Amino acid sequence: MKHFYTSVGENWFDFQDIYSRMVRNATDGSHFVEVGSWKGRSASYLAVEIVNSDKTIKFDCVDTWQGSKEHLSPVSPFFQSELLEDEDWLYQEFIKNVAPVKELINPVRTTSLQAASAYADESLDFVFIDASHEYEDVLKDLHAWYPKIKKGGYIGGHDYIFYSGVRRAVNEFFDITPEIIRNSFLHNKVELQTC
């Protein structure tokens, strides 16, 4: 299937290499979660990668589709007036944009923390967090989602370089520096070995 993500939403998606790597290394039966899907640009990319891999990978997109602080403030460069006019506008944009791959995507319309509580510990192969950029929210997301990752699985996120709150939360959460890939971070949850 040909990629169509460049026709979806804003050009904020710059972690294609991470998504491609996760699909390439995944096994049949893997389970991926994207936390913060906005209009579906990154979700569309990942879904097409899954299609083209011929692997069976479950893919959930978690979002309230209500926007974040920066989308709701009229003085912000990321302001979206439609969010104030119609509470379903962003969700409908997402559904429309992912229509070509809708059979691969399971939208989970709730908060990050509520969604995380619905997954069993060590049940997920990959979680990518791109929701709120506020320090407290990112730290809560990491604490909520990290236990859900299987040993050998990955957790990652976006906006590590451009948002100080994201960087502070990530640096505080991990004892070691995660792998930094452009503006994103990636961490492999390995089982600690004892001698």
Kindly report the average pLDDT of the chain as a whole number. Answer: 90
Q: Report, as an integer, the average pLDDT of 43-66.
A: 96
- Contacts of 187-194 with C-beta under 8 Å, sequence gap 24+, read 187/154, 187/155, 187/156, 188/152, 188/153, 188/154, 189/146, 189/149, 189/150, 189/151, 189/152, 189/153, 189/154, 189/155, 190/151, 190/152, 191/151, 191/152
193 lies in a domain?
no
Joined tokens for residue 70: 């920066």
pLDDT digits (tens, 9 = 90+) for 87-133: 887 899 999 999 999 999 999 999 999 999 999 999 999 999 999 99
Q: Check whether 195 has a pLDDT greater than 50.
A: no
pLDDT at 177: 80
195 lies in a domain?
no
Give the predicted TM-score (pTM) of the model. Answer: 0.90
Q: How many domains does the chain have?
A: 1
pLDDT at 83: 63
70 lies in a domain?
yes
Domain of residue 11, CATH code: 3.40.50.150
pLDDT at 85: 72
128 lies in a domain?
yes
- d(CA 44, CA 40) in angstroms, rounded, equals 6
141 lies in a domain?
yes
194 lies in a domain?
no
Q: Note whether 38 and 94 are within 8 A (CB).
A: yes
Q: Report, as an integer, the average pLDDT of 48-53.
A: 98
**How many Å is the Cα radius of gyration of the chain?**
16
Q: Note whether 176 and 186 are within 8 A (CB).
A: no
pLDDT at 71: 64
Structural domain range at position 64: 5-188
pLDDT at 194: 34
135 lies in a domain?
yes
pLDDT digits (tens, 9 = 90+) for 69-86: 666 566 756 667 676 577
